[in-house]
């Protein structure tokens, strides 16, 4: 069911006790309900990511998107903040984990929370969703074409991060992966490697791969948008979270 919602900017406690900005969207009706941490892509805490956050609320979940660039460029336009973050090589993994943990704590503290929280991220956020599920007690995680869970960035790439695939045995939650077969980061070979690691580690996971889709096929404001893949992907994401988080 798609319902009414309300949304607002809030402040939450992130890594090292820092106060950071976040965008919160809630269904208008009373709970109890599961919750979702939406992890923004490298372009930042932008209108498109806030729209995704509201969509989860419309689907019946509490949802929050922490602004991972709050420290670099507080109050800045998303493009300017993203430029600063790119110049710094992205968000350090340890700091991200602290911010994500703060978002999870905030959601579990809401009056209508059923205690179950999942994570979802796109692009760099897909990798960070996987990282969250390695590091934080969450109930489900979705990786939408997360680059460099497998492999390392090429020279000149704006992210300076390392692969996570060797940590696959640490995964704490069921994982849903959404990938385009025309993508380069992650490539189909990268996805194969991650699938093999998850299988060998005995983890619960579900991967979906789409022909004719490349990176950012969910992004409605980009030429990369692929409606058929995105619509099917949203249906699978909603079903996955309803299974593991409840409605």
**Catalytic annotation on 123?**
yes
Residue of 40, 41, 215, 244 marked active site: 215
Q: What is the mean pLDDT of residues 80-90?
A: 90
Residue 1: band (very low, low, confident or very high) from pLDDT cuts 50, 70, 90: very low
Q: Has 77 been annotated as catalytic? A: no
Taking CA atoms, 59 is separated from 125, 171, 208, in Å, by: 21, 26, 21
Residue that the structure tokens 């900005």 belong to: 21
102 in Cβ contact with 21 (< 8 Å)? no
Closest CA to 52 of 116, 107, 125: 125
pLDDT tier at 79 (50, 70, 90 boundaries)? confident
Q: pLDDT, tens digit, for every residue of 11-64?
A: 999 999 999 999 999 999 988 999 999 999 999 899 999 999 999 999 999 999
Q: Look at residue 76 in the predicted model and tell me its pLDDT.
A: 80
CA–CA distance, 225 with 220 (Å, rounded to integer): 5
Give the residue, 103 or 3, on which the prediction is more confident: 103
Segment 203-238, tens digit of pLDDT: 999 999 999 999 999 999 999 999 999 999 999 999
Maximum distance among all alpha carbons in the chain? Answer: 49
Out of 123, 143, 144, 190, which one is annotated catalytic?
A: 123
Set 65, 139, 183, 190: catalytic member: 183
208 catalytic residue (yes or no): no
């Amino acid at each position: 069911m798609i319902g009414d919602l309300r949304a607002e900017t809030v402040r939450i406690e992130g890594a090292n006790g820092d106060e950071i900005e976040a965008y919160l969207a809630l269904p208008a009706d009373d709970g109890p309900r599961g919750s979702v941490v939406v992890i923004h892509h490298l372009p930042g805490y932008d209108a498109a990511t806030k729209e995704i956050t509201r969509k989860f609320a419309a689907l019946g979940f509490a949802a929050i998107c922490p602004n991972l660039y709050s420290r670099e460029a507080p109050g800045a336009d998303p493009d300017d903040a993203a430029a600063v973050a790119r110049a710094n090589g992205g968000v350090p993994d340890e700091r991200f984990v602290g911010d994500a943990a703060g978002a999870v704590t905030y959601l579990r503290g809401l009056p209508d929370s059923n205690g179950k929280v999942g994570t979802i991220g796109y692009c760099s956020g897909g990798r960070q969703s996987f990282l969250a599920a390695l590091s934080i007690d969450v109930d489900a995680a979705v990786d939408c074409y997360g680059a460099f869970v497998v492999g390392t960035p090429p020279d000149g790439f704006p992210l300076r991060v390392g692969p996570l695939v060797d940590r696959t045995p640490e995964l704490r939650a069921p994982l849903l992966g959404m990938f385009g077969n025309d993508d380069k980061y992650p490539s189909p070979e990268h996805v194969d490697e991650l699938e093999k690691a998850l299988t060998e580690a005995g983890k619960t996971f579900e991967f979906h791969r789409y022909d004719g889709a490349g990176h950012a096929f969910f992004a409605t404001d980009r030429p990369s948008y692929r409606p058929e893949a995105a619509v099917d992907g949203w249906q699978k994401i909603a079903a996955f979270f309803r299974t593991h988080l409840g409605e």
